[in-house]
Amino acid sequence: MAKRSKARRRALEILFEAEQRDMDPFEVLRVRRERADLIVNEYVLELIDGVKSEQEHIDEILATYARGWTLERMPRVDLMALRIGAWELLCNTDIPDNVAVSEAVALVKELSTDDSPSFVNGLLGRIQVLKPTLVEVDDVE
């Protein structure tokens, strides 16, 4: 598994745990580091920081384009993968759009339900197509 793929998985795990425990993701990471002497790839930190700082805007976009699904109804793993994928699509110019989508799909293929890959692919694909018309996350501030 490539470094960034591993970083995405680790970020998803931390974001998922933080939501489940109602904790800040960086606090979850700190606790994990203390317990396991964990070495964390810099991209994990970038993903967590990006998703955390832009979560409100990302969630607004996801809620707007998730046909027939509310964020509350989505499997939590899917939502974390969608947040990571949307952040990479909208905020990280270093990651090609197709890679952001395919990596999010790969995460849910491995970690979520049988229906999750097509759901995540469809929603992020819709956002990818609409990206030029969406307000850039950096422009919102």
- Cα gap 96→23, rounded to integer Å: 31
* Domain ranges, ordered by start, for the chain: 1-136
Provide the whole-model pTM. 0.93
Q: How many CB atoms lie within 10 A of CB 110?
A: 12
Residue 59 dihedral angles phi and psi, to the nearest 5° = -65, -35
pLDDT digits 0-9 by tens, 38-60: 788 999 999 999 999 999 999 99
Please list, residue by residue across 39-77, b when 16 or more beta carbons sit within 10 angstroms of its beta carbon and e when fewer do.
Answer: eeeebbbbbbebbeebbebbbebbeebbeeeeeeebbeb
- State how far the alpha carbon of 84 is from the alpha carbons of 35, 36, 38, 52, in Å: 25, 24, 21, 10
- Cα gap 20→100, rounded to integer Å: 24
pLDDT digits 0-9 by tens, 125-140: 999 999 999 855 444 4
pLDDT digits 0-9 by tens, 109-125: 999 999 999 999 999 99
Supply the CATH classification number for the domain 1-136: 1.10.940.10
